[in-house]
Chains A and B, each alone.
Chain A
């Protein structure tokens, strides 16, 4: 046992010769909107390459669920929301301050591969033969979808209001729904199973993603470094690779 410890210490000494304290893994708990699932997993990997003593714990879900969890005392270090109003809930509760916008996202219509129902735009979603699924109006993706439909002057009747945007994507990729309104990044992440139909600029809704360190974070400095990293050129490059636009 003592031998193992000695080797471990020796290894650490080799890796970081300037540090003399024992190696300590710092957990950083990130609550992030479910549309960030893939991008943050990659960004976390990349960040830990440069900061080997960091371990990420991700909690992905609808931003509204996450905001409820945080305002009820969930131990988050960083909160990344898919909209400004859920960040505002956390700010209003005094649990975070000075959020930064680190990315933006646009909407797209997700359809099964090959677009069997030949959906060309939002207007087609009102067709009676289309089984449409949206996110619930209480979660950002659902709210944005309704805004886009309103801009297009389309009255659509979804058969389901799913709990988050990933559930919408799943219903389309399983073939249960003919169409769903999701983020551009969601379509890209499921490119093998769904195709995207673009929404023109005049009907488009841009989702801005704010991020902030949560009050009571275990290591606010480290949490801040992760946010700096996301807004740095390297972080932005990773986010762009998943389809996010610049803030």
Chain B
């Protein structure tokens, strides 16, 4: 690796770029009530939000794995007409404003939504429920998993699958015993990213699932609500989210913190 002196202008702009990300974090940490940190985090409202957030984000990750790995396999292995369009549609929530996603979910699965009316008729209600919050989190987070797993499938050595087939393994056995173990690192990476995104979900959740402590009030919602009345709690919860996110990036440094 060769190192060179950057032009002064580039160095100055890069410095501003770094400051732009570091300063808000410094601001947050400077305001954090470190002496009473544990006290703030063990208030009932904080504990409830922490617990609920872990349940919702983990459930969303499980759902994304269940549906996302098969979807990624189809995208990587089965060329069909309109594949790019379908892939674009299922990737959309990644860049769509989450509030728009929440409104769309409401118009589809809300009580008066396109499909929600049928659900309501059989007694299933999604808005304002924990399952609704899980769906909102899955909606925004699953695309990250699908893209990561598809990339893994495309870059794996397919000769192992061919070998298994020539030895008489059926399609399901090949997938389960050969493909899945080979792409395990991608599946793991995708799941972790998906989980982190689900943990931070705000807009789609508050729009589709509402905000009720213990049912749909996840960490980011609790931060937003507490900011006005209990800023110390809000700041400490933010620090927790920050720490978790940072831990994920560091744990996955092979993928995201090193240059390509």
Contact = CB atoms under 8 A, between A and B. Distances in A.
Given A64-B228, A68-B228, A160-B128, A176 B211 contact: no
Contacts of B231: 68
Nearest to B226: A138
A65 B217 CA distance: 18
B128 A65 contact: no
B165 to A, nearest CB: 51
Interface residues of A, number: 20
A3 to B, nearest CB: 40
Interface in A150-171: 158-163, 171
Interface of A: 62, 64-65, 67-68, 131, 133, 136, 138-139, 158-163, 171, 174-176
B228 A67 contact: yes
B212 A176 contact: no
Interface stretch (B52-60, B105-113, B148-156, B185-193): B105-113
A64 to B, nearest CB: 4
Nearest to B234: A68
B229 A138 contact: yes
Interface in B211-234: 211-213, 215-217, 224-229, 231
A68 B31 CA distance: 15
B210 A174 contact: no
Interface of B: 106, 110-112, 127-128, 206, 209-213, 215-217, 224-229, 231
Given A131-B128, A176-B112, A162 B228 contact: no
Nearest to B128: A159
Determine the main DSSP class of A at the interface with B.
loop
B128 A136 contact: no
B112 A175 contact: yes
B8 to A, nearest CB: 33
B212 A160 contact: yes
Contacts of B110: 174-176
A67 B110 CA distance: 33
Contact of B228 (A131, A138, A160, A174): A138
A65 B225 CA distance: 9
Contacts of B215: 159
B112 A65 contact: no
Contact of B225 (A67, A138, A159): A138
A183 B127 CA distance: 24
A176 B210 CA distance: 10
Contacts of B217: 161
A138 B212 CA distance: 13
* Residue of A131, A159, A163 contacting most chain B CB atoms (<10 Å): A159
